[in-house]
Amino acid sequence: LITLHQRKCDLLCKAKKTLLQKMFPKNGETTPEIRFKGFTGAWEQRKVGDLFNERNEQYPMSEEYPLMAFIANIGVAPKGERYDRSALVNDEVGKKYKRTEKGDFIYSSNNLETGSIGLNNYGKACISPVYSIFKSKHNADSDFLGRMLLRKEFINDMVKFRQGVVYGQWKIHEKDFLNLDISVPLLPEQQQIGRCFRGLDHLITLHQHELEKLQNIKKSCLKMMFV
């Protein structure tokens, strides 16, 4: 069973990687290699700023907007036990953080290549003000944009605008991010692509959780057998 779920996870991840390459136009092209039935025509070149607005709302954390981490390759997630509200020291109470909502696009200028970029799939939260946060406009699908902007080609374009010479002080200014060029289809096709990848991510997560449970059961059984 463990091998079966691991194989399913690997196959789904491989399928996702292939679709990310084929469902978005290559550099210099205006149509992707494969498309859903019923969609034709060239994708339009737009500025990121045509599809996103910066979200820069800074407030103290609250019950509605709890303090969260933004974890590489995971996204918005609860912090460890040492950040529990009951354990916070007095000088952190009242400190301002950036608010984020579900569907926001977030990045860290310092850690793009290691996965500190992606969508908020959690919901209302406060995170460190070092992150840049953007909300999609009415003419854009956040699931589509979230996958498109995670592609290696786009991240390479972002890194060209990174300023600073010391790690920890690198900065990609929000205005430079919003001025980047991307190719996008009309909203209905964006939504179809977004649903496709959302479904794939859901399946991958299900098999990963099942794999973790089976591995924990195996570990417990081995421990009891060899006491």
Q: What is the CATH number of the domain that holds 38?
A: 1.10.287
pLDDT band at residue 87 under the 50/70/90 scheme = very low
Kindly report, residue by residue over 155-187, the tens digit of the pLDDT: 999 989 988 877 767 889 999 999 999 999 999
Identify whether residues 64 and 150 lie together within a single domain: yes
pLDDT higher than threshold 50 for residue 81:
no
Identify whether residues 79 and 2 lie together within a single domain: no
Point out the domain boundary residue: 149, 169, 184.
184
Interatomic CA distance for residues 225 and 227, integer angstroms: 6
Identify whether residues 81 and 139 lie together within a single domain: yes
Mean pLDDT (whole number) for 24-51: 94
What is the per-residue pLDDT for 158?
A: 92
Identify whether residues 73 and 134 lie together within a single domain: yes
What is the per-residue pLDDT for 90?
A: 47
Identify whether residues 33 and 111 lie together within a single domain: no
Interatomic CA distance for residues 140 and 178, integer angstroms: 14
Identify whether residues 154 and 213 lie together within a single domain: no
Kindly report, residue by residue over 5-28, the tens digit of the pLDDT: 788 888 999 999 999 999 999 888
Among residues 210, 80, 67, 84, which one has the least CA distance to residue 131?
67
pLDDT higher than threshold 50 for residue 154:
yes
Tell me which residue range forms the domain holding 172: 45-184
Interatomic CA distance for residues 122 and 98, integer angstroms: 15
Question: What's the mean pLDDT when you consider all of the chain?
Answer: 88
Q: How far apart are the first and last CA of the chain?
A: 25
Token pair, residue 202, equals 């859901």
Token pair, residue 74, equals 């995971």
Q: What is the CATH number of the domain that holds 49?
A: 3.90.220.20
Identify whether residues 170 and 136 lie together within a single domain: yes
What global pTM score does this model have? 0.82
